[in-house]
Every structure is written in structure tokens, then in C-alpha cells.
Amino acid sequence: MTGRGQERSLTYGDEESTVRCHIRAGDARPGSGDAGTPRDAGTPHDARTPHDARTPDRLRTRSGDALLLDRLRELSGSGSVHSVFTRVVNLLTPDGTLIALAARDGGDAPRTLVTDLAAWTGRGVEAGRSVSFGHGSVTLDRPHPHPPLRVTTAEARPWHAVTPSLADLPPGGLTAAAALLDRLCRAYGPPGGMLGAAPGAGPMETAVARALDEGRTTLVEAVRAGDADRTRRGVLALLGLGPGLTPAGDDFLTGLALLAALPGSRLAGFPPVLRDVLAGYGGRTTDLGLATVSEAADGRARAELLDLLRLLAERRPARDLNVPVRKVLAIGHTSGGDTLSGLAAGLRLEEELRGPL
């Protein structure tokens, strides 16, 4: 779950108080303040002007998802601006795939280009306006007096989502890692989401927290038993559950799916079931939630999460994990903690399914 006023490429969004979220990232929202990382959703605009032939402004891409860069070299056609925030602009490609243009401190992530721009504020980019794709560039239509904005990728450093293997961790290592993540989440993460309702929470938040806990229990028991039908029910119990552009249930699924997608995982049966559910019921969650969970099922996630997994695989001492965990916890309002909860659940399941070595 993300806090009000926070934004996401694949993992940033702002919050609405709904038990199961059906809100799309492009929907208009009332003005909202900043929380966690200082981001806002921006103000929707109604002005529409046709794309013109003026010389476009150019914006360099510093780094980008290697798979996305390859795809953009072959992609042509028209898409649209999906949603605009201070530090990220989400776009729809001609085939409807969601991608992101992040500000320079946005960090590498799947389907994301990190641009040489401090913020998107005041740049004239509006949700719903047309976007042209061709020759590896992305050109955003903007209203007068702004010329089009061409985002170039020729100088972009390719970023590869490299997943480590946890196969060499000794007996008890996975459980110890899970316990460490839980401890750091409760020490530094905000209450809410998968950590349970915050003190003094109202009936809506309490109901969401209870449903999240029940869905987690259902899913973990099903994955442990290798029961595909019950696993589907567990995924459906969590998919889209909670407020925000990436609901807490989606974040938990992201963490669990990422762990299951690691090389040699005993949870390898989970991602195919998850993909099947997403294919049939993707409309139960948001565009951003669906994209984030889908990528995790393929072992692709934000650089902060992959860096943390690499440190676990290297058996680094607990003191070396403090800062990386807190970087993940800084994602959204509770999204980082909700994702780590999914990782911790996956680590425990992995340990159980390995059995004595």
C-alpha cells in the first residue's frame, strides 16, 4: 500500500480508502499532500491540443531496463500518458503496456527509464495526451506553449534485473533471514498493511487488516501443501486488497513471487499459478499493481529489492542489511514493508520445503 501523495513507476501510487482497490492510476483524484518520499499526484488537466511540428525539447535517458530499451528500438506507433506525478510519468505503449519515465533519483526498475530530470513538475506533461514511439525514442505531446518532449535512449546505460540464488544458504539460513526482515520491518516500518492495523485504526482499516491476514494464511498454507486450487484462492483473496495504486495484498504477492522466481527455488510452482490468476482476474487490481506482480513472477523487481536479496545470498551480517532494508521500507507508505512481508513468508516456506539437508 502506498501513502497519500506518493507515486509509483511500478511501485508508487497514492492512497484511496477502499477495501479492494479498483481505481486506475489515470483516474482523477483530489489534491493530496506528500508523505514518505516527497511526491504528489499532480493536478489533472482538461486542455487538449493536437501534436504539432515544432522542434521538440530533448531529454536524455540516464539508464533503463535493458528489456525495455531493446523493445523501444523496434517499437513504433502511438500511445498515451497514463498518469503524472512529481518524480515519475507512467505511459501506455501502443499495445497497452505500462512503462515509466522516472526522475533521476527514481532508481532502476522493470519497464522503467531513468531520465536526466530532477522532477516532472511544471513540464507540461498531462495524463491522457498522446505519446509517439519510434526509433528508440518516446515523444510526449504537450499543450501550448510547450513544444513536444522527446525522451532519447541512445546514451542510456542498460540495467539488468539479475536475480541471485539462495541455494547455498546453510540450514536455518533462510529462516534466520526471514526473522531479520520481520524484525527490521517492525522496528522501522510504519504500521498498516501486512503489519496489521495501526493503533486507533477505524473500522475500514481494521477490516482490511483482518482480510489481509486471512488471505496470507490461506495462501501460505496452500503453497506449503502444493495445492494449486487453494493457491489460486489465496491469490484471489489478496489480489487488489487494500488501498493505493499497489494495494498491500499485491505487494505481499510481489515479495512472495520474487522469492519463488529465484533460481533453484522450491516454490517454483507458485509463479505459474499466479500468472494464470493474473491473466484471468487482472481487472481486480490496479494497472500498477498488475504490472508489479507480473514482473515479480518473472524474477524482475526494483533494484533495491534485488540488492537486498543479493546481500542475503552472500550471507552478509545483519548489520550490513540495516540500510538496504530501510531503503526498501522507504518505498511508498507501507509498500516496502508489505513486499518484505511477502519475501519473509517465501523464505520460511523455502526453508520448510527444503527439509533437512
pLDDT at 23 over 60: no
pLDDT at site 244:
79
Query: pLDDT at position 39, please?
Result: 30
| In the predicted structure, residue 3 carries a pLDDT above the cut 90 | no
Which residue bears the cell 524482475?
300
Q: Taken in order 20, 25, 27, 31, is the CA torsion positive or negative?
A: positive
Distance CA 79, CA 196 (A): 39
Lowest pLDDT segment from 4-13, 23-32, 296-305, 313-322: 23-32
Please give the DSSP secondary-structure letter assigned to residue 263.
T
Tell me, what's the pLDDT at 355? 81
* DSSP-derived pairing of the beta strands 98-102 and 130-134: unpaired
- Between 22-31, 260-269, 347-356, the lowest mean confidence (pLDDT) is in 22-31
Residues 6+ apart with CB under 8 A from 45: 126, 127, 143
* Percent of the chain clearing pLDDT 70 (strictly above): 84
Are 216 and 238 spatial neighbours (Cβ–Cβ below 8 Å)? yes
Mean pLDDT of the chain: 87
Residues above pLDDT 90, as percent of the chain: 78
Model confidence at 28, pLDDT cuts 50, 70, 90, reads very low
Task: Compute the distance between CA of residue 330 and CA of residue 261 in angstroms, rounded to an integer.
Answer: 24
Phi, psi of 35, deg, nearest 5? -150, 155
In the predicted structure, residue 158 carries a pLDDT above the cut 50:
yes
The candidate with the shortest Cα–Cα distance to 126, out of 41, 35, 218, is 41
pLDDT at 290 over 70: yes
> What would the mean pLDDT of 124-131 be, rounded to a whole number?
97
The percent helix, strand, coil of the chain (3-state, each to 5) is: 40, 15, 45
HSE, side-chain direction, 13 A CA sphere, residue 296: 30
> How much is the pLDDT for 243?
85
Contact 35, 227 (CB under 8 A): no
> Which range, of 22-26, 90-94, 309-313, 349-353, averages the lowest pLDDT?
22-26
More confident site: 177 or 3: 177
